[in-house]
Amino acid sequence: GAVVSQHPSRVICKSGTSVKIECRSLDFQATTMFWYRQFPKKSLMLMATSNEGSKATYEQGVEKDKFLINHASLTLSTLTVTSAHPEDSSFYICSARSGYGAGLNTEAFFGQGTRLTVV
């Protein structure tokens, strides 16, 4: 299947700083990328949908000013956690799908995730 690379895989940052997570589709053009958050032993919660060249659509309860999403190209979306707090510590996963194909039958491919620890 197609490859989605997420970087970094682990990051530790100090409270109050910002951290950027990258999600790249390596061998396909991703018109849509999704950002999920996963708490320990919990399910994946969709945070936002990122469409190339337009503003991200955030799910209810997700602070768009805190979790900045940029999808500037067909192969890269970034999630920036601004003014990070310890409660932002979590596992963040991106997925990407190609817009070229029939509907949702085009599979969404997941990155390997980023473990963020805010100290």
Partner 1 sequence: AQTVTQSQPEMSVQEAETVTLSCTYDTSENNYYLFWYKQPPSRQMILVIRQEAYKQQNATENRFSVNFQKAAKSFSLKISDSQLGDTAMYFCAFGTSGTYKYIFGTGTRLKVLA
Which listed residue (3, 12, 26, 46) binds partner 1 by CB under 8 A?
46
**Which residues are 50's β-sheet partners?**
33
User: What minimum distance in Å lies between the beta carbon of 27 and partner 1?
Assistant: 16
Contact in structure between 36 and 95 (CB atoms under 8 Å): yes
Query: In which residue are the tokens 């100290």 written?
Result: 119
- Which tokens in the block code for residue 35? 């950002």
Which listed residue (14, 54, 87, 104) binds partner 1 by CB under 8 A?
104
Residues within the interface to partner 1 (CB under 8 A):
1, 32, 34, 38, 41-46, 49, 91, 93, 95, 97, 103-105, 107-108, 110, 112-113
